[in-house]
Amino acid sequence: MCCDLKRRFLLLYATQKGQAKAIAEEIWQQAGAHGLEADMHCISEMDKYNLETEKDPVVIVISTTGTGDPPDTARKFVKKIQDTTLPPDHFAHLQYGLLGLGDSEYTFFCNGGKTVDRRLQELGAQHFYNTGLADDCVGLELVVDPWIDGLWLALKEAFRLQKEKEDMSSDAVANSLSAAPHIGHDLSLNSEVQNLKLEDERVGTSNVLPEKQVDVHLVASARDTEPSLTHSVPPVSQSALNIPALPPEYIEVHFQDTHGENPHPASLISEGTTFEVPVKKAVQLTRGDAIKTALLLELDTADTVFDYQPGDAFCVQCPNNVSEVEELLCILGLSEKGEHFVCVKVKQGTKKKGAAHPQHIPERSTLKFILTWCLEIRAIPKKAFLRALVECTSDGGEKRRLQELCSRQGASDYTCFIRDSNVCLLDLLRAFPSCKPSLNLLIEHLPKLQARSYSVSSSNLYQPGKLCFVFNIVEFPACPDRPVSRKGVCTGWLAELVAPLLHPSKNTQGTKGGYSSTEKV
């Protein structure tokens, strides 16, 4: 055996919407540069790994869904380890590090990761690295980035101790482990990690860009200006940058003819039962001068078997805004291709581990259908997406600013001008006009368009055959980094859908003064 073979560790991810998987893939990509090999699997693929016999360190990235539940992909795993007949030393041989993802706006923050972490500890497993809890409310990257940076030293220390263990007697092993320093680095990995010094000189595995050459005559004026989405100021504007590795492309898109029919949007829903029902009534509950506009919608469920209790949650499948889809097609130079069917395939020879056809993209549909019903074009771009957009940008100044926004040194700018400002892909393409991404890049990096959840505000006993729900129309006012105001994807669509019910004109009045709606959701 060659002495310089890479050391292996097991990398498991449990994801609901793809976030944990993307972070695991980032770890997998960086591992090679550290002389390590990540054996990556979805935690649901229990036939591909066995924690009962695992001797190498284990890294787990797990999200939280619902009201604090582990993601669907982790349900079988959690059920298995929660078996009450397992002895307390069941995982005594196991060393692991866990990164949990959550949102502190919900009561049970990171409970999916906490549940797995607590149970592994109860079964005797030991941390080789402190648990990280990343908060999507303030920005996952505030914890994720430093946690990954510290992971490599912790892994190498774990391997060193593992080698010592193999070379020593069992008594000496116990003494060695009890005396060994705990590899924690005092990261205090929680949402308070905003105090982390991101100007650290560690290069890690990310690419390092040289310091920007600045005209000394412009320094004074630059200091007097404020940073923005498109403009940076010192020290970021003059710093050498640590930027993420370029994600490998893995999708190919081929345009076909315009003949055929798109699938029904309901076919995109993979779980649960789907009903298409008419909107029977719409009422505006707030005055016209109210800060927020609240609407009540009544759906006709008489012809369905949709049974519910008051307060139950249900999901509404919604499309992206038509005008935004048209503008995106225009910017991409694909306006004439909107009605063309496209074939999406995995790129041969791609370096992306586990590359697969995205499940939310139909086998055959038009480009406009994909942008309207399949991709979350309003999603806040992740740093990996920004890194990919750098390669599609021709202007030197715009390229540098995108590099800054995805760099470790530009973390606060990313939070302020992209995350907190709810900037989406369209906003970026308006702000950086020389950026011309390919369609395959959008399919690779834009997440699935999710159905939106609402609570039932009616009783099936009191109003059989009807389902009512109330919502505020979400408003995103214009701001310097997003000059166009807009409404929420689903609430804006619903408000537009029921506008004739709210403001019926004379020519839409029925013979009895009522408006007959044909709109369905």
Question: The CATH number of the domain where 93 resides is what?
Answer: 3.40.50.360
| Residue-level pLDDT at 18 | 82
Please identify, among 146, 162, 178, the residue that sits at the C-terminal boundary of a domain.
Answer: 162
- Express the helix, strand and coil content of the chain in percent, nearest 5 each: 35, 20, 50
Q: Hey, which residues does 39 pair with through a beta bridge? A: 10
Structure tokens at 507: 């020519």
Say which residues have a Cβ less than 8 Å from residue 274's Cβ, sequence separation at least 6.
266, 317
Final residue of a structural domain among 131, 162, 193: 162
Q: Give yes or no: residues 122 and 268 share one domain.
A: no
**Structural domain includes residue 510:** no
* 142 lies in the same domain as 261: no
Q: How far apart are CA 204 and CA 297, in angstroms?
A: 53
The pLDDT of residue 188? 43
Instruction: Give the whole-angstrom CA distance, residue 193 versus residue 147.
Output: 10
**Number of domains comprising the chain:** 2
CA angle 417, 421, 424 (to 5 degrees): 90
pLDDT (0 to 100) of residue 194: 36
pLDDT at 426: 96
Number of helices (H), then strands (E), belonging to the chain: the values are: 15, 18
Is 111 inside a domain boundary?
Answer: yes
User: What is each CA distance from 519 to 7, 276, 343, 493, 494, in whole angstroms?
Assistant: 59, 10, 31, 12, 10
At position 335, the amino acid (one-letter code) is S
Q: Tell me, what's the pLDDT at 321?
A: 97
Dihedral of CA 45/49/50/51: which sign? negative
Structure confidence at residue 444 (pLDDT):
94
- From the list 401, 402, 408, the residue with the least C-alpha distance to 387 is 402
- Contact present, 251 and 440 (Cβ < 8 Å): yes
**Beta bridge partner(s), residue 476:** 486
Q: Burial code of 282-300, b = ≥16 C-beta within 10 A, e = fewer?
A: bebeeeeeeeebebbbbbb
CA-wise closest residue to 481 among 389, 403, 401, 409: 401
Query: Is 204 inside any structural domain?
Result: no
3-state SS class at 341: strand
Tell me how far the alpha carbon of residue 402 is from its chain's centroid.
Answer: 19
Instruction: Tell me whether residue 464 is in a domain.
Output: no
Q: Specify whether the backbone of 404 is left (phi greater than 0), alpha (psi in -120 to 50) or beta.
A: alpha
Give how far the C-alpha of residue 101 lies from the chain's centroid of Cα atoms, to the nearest Å. Answer: 10
**91 inside domain:** yes
pLDDT score, position 495: 96
288 in the same domain as 150? no
CATH number, position 344? 1.20.990.10
The pLDDT score that the predictor gives to residue 465 is 93
Is the pTM of the predicted complex or chain greater than 0.95? no
Q: Are residues 289 and 143 in the same domain?
A: no
- Predicted local distance difference test score (pLDDT) of residue 104: 87
Residue 216 lies in a domain: no
Tell me whether residue 458 is in a domain.
Answer: no
Tens digits of residue pLDDT in 25-71: 889 988 988 999 999 999 999 999 999 999 999 999 999 988 789 99
Indicate the average pLDDT of the chain: 86
Q: Which two tokens stand for residue 60?
A: 């787990």
pLDDT at site 208:
65
Number of residues that make up the chain: 521
Q: Tell me whether residue 415 is in a domain.
A: yes
Q: Which residues of the chain have pLDDT under 70?
A: 1-5, 169-224, 505-517
Out of 162, 189, 209, a domain closes at 162
Q: In what order do the strands lie in the sheet with 341-346?
A: 251-255, 341-346, 365-366
Mutual angle of helices 19-31 and 141-167, in 10-degree steps: 50
Segments forming the whole domain that contains residue 272: 251-445
Residues 271, 146 within the same domain: no
Confidence at residue 123, expressed as pLDDT on a 0 to 100 scale: 96
- The full DSSP string for 422-479 is T--HHHHHHHSTTB---HHHHHHHSPB-PPEEEE--S-TTTSTTEEEEEEE--EE--B
